Structure 1
Amino acid sequence: MYESQIKAFKKAEPKTLGAVQIVIGFFTVILSTIVYKLHYHIQREIIILIINGAQLVITGIILVHTGRRPSKRLVLTTIVLQLLTAAFDVVGFGLMARHIPFRGESYYYRDTEFLVNGILGTLIGVLVLACIIGLVVSLFGVYSLSVSAIKELTPIPHSTANQHYGAGLQAQNAIHSGN
C-alpha cells in the first residue's frame, strides 16, 4: 500500500473502532445469553445474536490488527468482514424488533417483561451502532484503496515530489540554452 493509502485508512481510527466492536461483541453475547436463559421460545433469534456477537469480536480483532499494520490484503479482508457483519447486524436487530414490546403468556414471563424489554432494546441499539461502525470502516477502506492510489499514481508536472518528471524539463531547457 502507498503511504497516502495508509494515511487515508488510518483516518477512520481502525484500532479504536475495532476495540469498540470487540466490546460490543462481548456485550451482545452476554445480553443474548441472559435472554436465552430467561425465555426459551425465542431461542433461534438469540442463537443468531450470539453468533453475531462472536463475529463482532473476531471482526474487531482483525480490525485492530489491520489498524496496526495495514496491508492491501488485510484492508480487503476487513472490508468484506465489515460488510458481512453489517448484514448480520441488520438481521439481528430486525429479529429483535419483532419481540418489542415483549409480552409473556405465563406468570413467570410477566415477572421478567420489563427486564427483557430493556435488554432487547439495548441489543437493538448496540447492533445499530455496530452496523454503523461496520459501514464506516468499509467506506474508509474502499476510499483508501481507490482514491488515494489514484492521487499517488497521478504525476504532477513541475512538482518537486516526483523528480523524474522534472528531469525532462531541465534537459529541454539545457538544449534550448545551448548546453
Structure 2
Amino acid sequence: MYPSQMKAFKSAEPKTLGAVEIIIGTLAVILSTIVYKLHYHIQREIIILILNGAQLIITGIVLVHAGRRPTKCLVGTNIVLQLLTAAFDIVGFGLMARHVPFRGESYYYRDTEFLVNGILGTLIGSLVLACIIGLVVALFGLYALSVSAIKELTPIPNSTANPQYGSGGQAKSAMHAGN
C-alpha cells in the first residue's frame, strides 16, 4: 500500500473501531445466551444473534490487525467482512424488532418480561451501532484503496520527479533513446 493509502485507512481509527466491534460482539453473545436460556420459543432468532456476535468478534480482530499493519489484502478482507457483518446486523435487529415489546404467554414469562425487553432493546441498539461502524469502515477502506491510490499515481505537470510524465520533448526523447 502507498503511504497515502495507509494514512487514509488509519484516519478511520481501525484499531479503536475493531475494539468496539469486539466489545459489541461479546455483549451480543452474552445477552443472546441469556435470552436463549430464558425463552425457548425464540431460539432460532437468538441462534442467529449468537452467530452474529461471533462474526462481530472475528471481524473486530481482523480490523484491529489491519489497523496495525494495513495491506491491500487485509483492507479488502475488512471491506467484505464489514459488509457481511452489516447485512447480518440488519437481519438480526429485524428479527429482534418483532419481539419488542416482549409479551409472555404464561406466568413464568410475565416475571421476566421487563428483563427480556431490556436485553432485546440493548441487542437492537448494539446491532445498529455495529452496522454503522461496519459501513463506515467499509467506506473508509474503499476510499483508501481507490482515491488515495489515484492521488499517488497522478502525475504533477512540469515536475522533475517523474520525467516520463513531463510535457517537454526532452523527456520523451530520452525515454525513446533508452536513457
Q: TM-score, structure 2 length as denominator?
A: 0.91
In structure 1, the residue matched to 2:125 is 125
Q: What is the DSSP-based 3-state SS (H/G/I as helix, E as strand, rest coil) of the residue aligned with 1:41?
A: helix
Are 2:81 and 1:86 aligned?
no
Q: Give the aligned partner of residue 150 of structure 1.
A: 150
Local SS of the residue matching 1:155: coil
Distance 1:149 1:37, change over 3 A: same
Paired residue secondary structure (1:65): helix
Q: Is the 8 A contact 2:159 2:166 kept in 1?
A: no
> Would you say the 8 A contact 2:104–2:110 is kept in 1?
yes
Report the number of matched residues: 171
Letter in 1 for 2:3: E
Quote the Cα distance in structure 2 between the aligned partners of 1:166 and 1:119.
Answer: 61
For residues 83-130 of structure 1, the C-alpha deviation after alignment (integer angstroms, 9 at most, x for no partner) is 000000000000000000000010000000000000000000000000
Structure 2 vs 1, CA of residues 167 and 99 (structure 1 numbering), >3 Å: closer, same or farther?
closer
Is the 8 Å Cα contact of residues 157 and 165 (structure 1) preserved in structure 2?
Answer: no
CA positional deviation for 1:163: 5.0
Cα distance between partner residues in 2 of 1:17 and 1:166 = 40
Q: Secondary structure at the match of 1:103?
A: coil
Q: C-alpha offsets along residues 143-168 of structure 1, whole Å, 9 cap, x if unaligned?
A: 110111110000001346x2536987
> How many percent identity over aligned positions?
81
Segments of structure 2 that go 5 or more residues without pairing to the other structure are 172-179
Aligned to 2:163: 164
User: 2:104 corresponds to which residue?
Assistant: 104
RMSD of the alignment, in Å?
A: 1.7
Q: Give the 3-state SS of the residue equivalent to 2:26 in structure 1.
A: helix
2: CA distance between counterparts of 1:86 and 1:159? Answer: 44
